[in-house]
């Protein structure tokens, strides 16, 4: 399901007035009601950027990327990645980030655009070799139109895809009245017809807060020509056959081995000791098994066995964990604001990701209808996450979404580690 237009119409007046915090307050309940709606999440992240809340914007864009892959929405996956590129320093950008997106979407069916005759489609992009796809994606630009009417020089080699909102656009030959007027909704294209050779202008008039992702058709044609002229052996090895481009059944990603039970950490679990008794722990540590969703919390200065909980939310920015309220209540004050070591066993066959984190909030009250009354919740924010660990976490989330096994947060629990401070 998607939000009704009337729910977005309430944003128009505060958006025109530049009241970004009011827009966020109006949009949050919509996202709570429709958590899988990518347009709403992308707009919320953009509003967080406008209100100088870069950390919250980063969380929204990072959550949006695996959601977009799970829904087969290539354009909004690229939009989320372009926003992430803006927020991160150039030195932190992964050189093969768009090649990874090309690989992910090559394994799942993509959503088809309504304009099946359009030159720019997900299938056309995925049919390119990875290097060509990377070049086009890296050159794509997000145009945050908001509600501002814009008159631009017409460019037949440019095509815009509406990422969110609703956009009324018209073509105006020089010195004449409007020749054509069209309304484009989400994931529809804004492009000039090839037969418009005369000098024209294009007017973009958003009816709702809108943003577009602009591509270069000239660059697409150039990369298609390169791919067509390459030797057949090179094309066969360089271009994965996506379901959208070739009509074949999508290749299933290899299944990671499933754990029979969580792998306990001997440094956290004194009951598995086979030699001398353990000393008191010098730091508070959390051990998480991604596949089984089991978490173990061991407290500093204690010989008591760690208590078990569950993983309910994970992103490259932080992790949300649920533990019995009876266990959290006595240690709440000690946990709030403290630093914890987190070890996450991901289903990639490599050693666990080991990260330093800060406790941003401890929530003891049952967070909404359907949430277990006996559970409390812990929100951790990762500190100094390097590019490799970021990519491993993101790949695990993508693989879970593609396999139809995304994380299932407890109803009403805070999604963002930093929300308590907002």
Of 187, 189, 153, 147, the C-alpha closest to 171 is 153
For the chain, the first-to-last Cα distance in angstroms comes to: 28
Of residues 357 and 76, more confidence is placed in: 76
Confidence label for 70 from pLDDT (cuts 50, 70 and 90) = confident
pLDDT of residue 37: 92
pLDDT of residue 117: 60
Of residues 80 and 156, more confidence is placed in: 80
Q: Which stretch of DSSP H or E encloses residue 126?
A: helix 122-126
- The C-alpha angle 208, 75, 207, rounded to 5 degrees, equals 10
Ordered domains of the chain (ranges, CATH)? 5-110 (1.25.40.10), 142-246 (2.60.120), 270-421 (2.40.10)
Residue 101 has pLDDT above 80, yes or no: yes
pLDDT of residue 261: 46
d(CA 358, CA 106): 37
pLDDT of residue 109: 57
pLDDT of residue 418: 41
Backbone angles phi, psi at 204, to 5 degrees: -110, 120
Please compute the mean of the pLDDT values over residues 35-49 and round it to a whole number: 93
Residue that has been written with the tokens 């707009």 in this structure: 43
* Conformational region of residue 82, where left means phi above 0, alpha means psi within -120 to 50, and beta covers everything else: alpha
pLDDT of residue 385: 77
Residue 27 has pLDDT above 70, yes or no: yes
DSSP 241-282: --HHHH-SPPPPPPPPPPPSS----TTT-GGG--SSPPPPPS
d(CA 322, CA 359): 13
362 C-beta neighbours (distance < 10 Å), count:
20
Determine how β-strand 339-345 pairs with β-strand 200-206: unpaired
Tens of pLDDT, residues 230-271: 776 555 555 444 444 444 455 555 555 554 444 444 444 444
CB-based contact 167:204 (threshold 8 Å): yes
Partners of 207 in the beta sheet?
Answer: none
CB-based contact 30:7 (threshold 8 Å): yes
- The tokens for 90 are 């150039």
pLDDT of residue 281: 43
pTM beyond 0.85: the answer is no
pLDDT of residue 156: 82
> How many Å is the Cα radius of gyration of the chain?
24
Please compute the mean of the pLDDT values over residues 187-206 and round it to a whole number: 81
Of 119, 141, 153, 125, the C-alpha closest to 211 is 141
Residue 97 has pLDDT above 70, yes or no: yes
Helix, strand or coil, per DSSP, at residue 181: strand
Of residues 303 and 292, more confidence is placed in: 292
């Amino acid at each position: 399901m998607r939000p009704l237009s009337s729910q977005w119409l309430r944003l128009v007046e505060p958006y025109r007035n530049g009241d970004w915090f009011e827009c966020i307050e109006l949009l949050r309940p919509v996202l709570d009601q429709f958590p899988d709606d990518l347009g709403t999440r992308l707009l919320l992240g953009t509003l967080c950027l406008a209100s100088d809340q870069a950390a919250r914007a980063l969380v929204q864009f990072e959550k949006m990327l695996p959601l977009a892959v799970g829904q087969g929405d290539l354009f909004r996956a690229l939009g989320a990645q372009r926003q992430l590129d803006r927020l991160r320093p150039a030195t932190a950008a992964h050189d093969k980030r768009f090649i990874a997106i090309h690989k992910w979407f090559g394994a799942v069916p993509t959503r088809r655009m309504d304009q099946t005759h359009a030159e720019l489609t997900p299938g056309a992009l995925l049919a390119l070799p990875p290097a060509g796809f990377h070049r086009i994606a890296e050159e794509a630009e997000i145009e945050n139109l908001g509600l501002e009417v814009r008159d631009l020089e017409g460019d037949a080699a440019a095509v815009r895809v509406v990422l969110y909102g609703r956009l009324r656009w018209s073509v105006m030959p020089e010195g004449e009245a409007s020749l054509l007027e069209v309304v484009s909704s989400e994931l529809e294209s804004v492009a000039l017809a090839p037969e418009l050779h005369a000098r024209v202008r294009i007017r973009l008039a958003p009816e709702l807060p809108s943003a577009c992702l602009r591509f270069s058709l000239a660059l697409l044609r150039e990369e298609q020509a390169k791919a067509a002229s390459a030797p057949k052996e090179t094309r066969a090895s360089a271009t994965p056959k996506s379901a959208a481009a070739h009509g074949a059944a999508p290749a299933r990603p290899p299944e990671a081995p499933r754990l029979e039970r969580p792998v306990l950490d001997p440094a956290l679990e004194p009951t598995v000791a086979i030699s001398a008794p353990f000393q008191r722990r010098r730091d508070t540590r959390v051990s998480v098994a991604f596949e089984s969703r089991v978490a173990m919390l061991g407290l500093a200065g204690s010989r008591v066995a760690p208590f078990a909980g569950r993983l309910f939310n994970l992103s490259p920015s932080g992790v949300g964990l649920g533990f019995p309220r009876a266990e959290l209540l006595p240690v709440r004050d000690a946990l709030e604001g403290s630093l914890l070591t987190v070890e996450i066993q991901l289903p990639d066959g490599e050693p666990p990701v080991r990260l330093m984190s800060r406790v941003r909030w401890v929530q003891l009250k049952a967070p909404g209808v359907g949430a277990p009354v006996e559970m409390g919740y812990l929100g951790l924010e990762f500190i100094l996450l390097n590019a490799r660990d970021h990519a491993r976490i993101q790949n695990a989330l993508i693989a879970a979404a593609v396999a139809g096994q995304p994380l299932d947060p407890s109803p009403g629990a805070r999604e963002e580690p930093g929300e308590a401070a907002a």
